[in-house]
Structure 1
């Protein structure tokens, strides 16, 4: 069963609060889930799994599909790093170089797919 879509106004407000001020855990969770939702909508597919524990994960980007077991292409990061990537405050290259994201697999690269929420909280 698919998760309910976060409305744009609710998601944008959560992202704005999460990156500009001391947001509650619920606001951070909504901001992460909303930006993951945007990534999945804009870069649909099943080649890459992006995980932001404990708040959410999505599959995205066209290409070979995996159906069982651990996906071969995975990116995992914390909420703060993900929101910086999603809003354009941090580039994929800088995040990968700093070690703030764990990326495994030949297709574990978000270049050209982020930011997804540029202008929401700049």
Structure 2
């Protein structure tokens, strides 16, 4: 049995555009929620970017209902619940990947469920698409 072929790497401009499409909502929760397809695109593209930046199978990142990816080198997991899991909501995930929320703050506030000693390695990879205060891209 062969493994799943690797996904095509996301275009960085496409990832950035998807994140910017939901940036107002990230900066201000009182703003109207983005359309589901826009939210799904931002979540999936950023999670898959993480998957490519840190290839491996030792940590599973779950952002239900949109995506689950495996990343970070280490022991491969093949059956049942992985020992190293990071799970969060779509909004929290996007806050993390933009740097508008730190991993430690999200964990302390109960906005991230993390299990396993390797799960914390995700924090070292964030943010992926830094946004400044107010949800705008920092250059």
Q: Would the aligned equivalents of 1:15 and 1:121 in 2 still touch at CA under 8 Å?
A: no
CA distance in 1, matches of 2:10, 2:44: 8
1:111 is aligned to 2:123: yes
Give secondary structure in 2 for the equivalent of 1:59.
strand
CA distance in 1, matches of 2:89, 2:73: 24
1:47 is aligned to 2:54: no
1:70 is aligned to 2:81: yes
**Counterpart pick for 2:19 among 4, 7, 15:** 15
**Counterpart pick for 2:96 among 85, 88, 107:** 85
Give secondary structure in 2 for the equivalent of 1:66.
coil
Alignment match, 1:31: 42
TM-score, normalised via structure 2 length: 0.79
> Structure 1 residue 14: deviation in Å?
1.4
Give secondary structure in 2 for the equivalent of 1:13.
helix
Q: Mark the CA change 1:107 to 1:116 in structure 2 (over 3 Å): closer, same or farther.
A: same
CA distance in 2, matches of 1:36, 1:77: 12
CA distance in 2, matches of 1:79, 1:55: 8
Matched residues, number: 122
TM-score, normalised via structure 1 length: 0.89
CA distance in 1, matches of 2:13, 2:63: 22
> Structure 1 residue 43: deviation in Å?
1.0
CA distance in 2, matches of 1:36, 1:74: 14
Q: Would the aligned equivalents of 1:77 and 1:102 in 2 still touch at CA under 8 Å?
A: yes
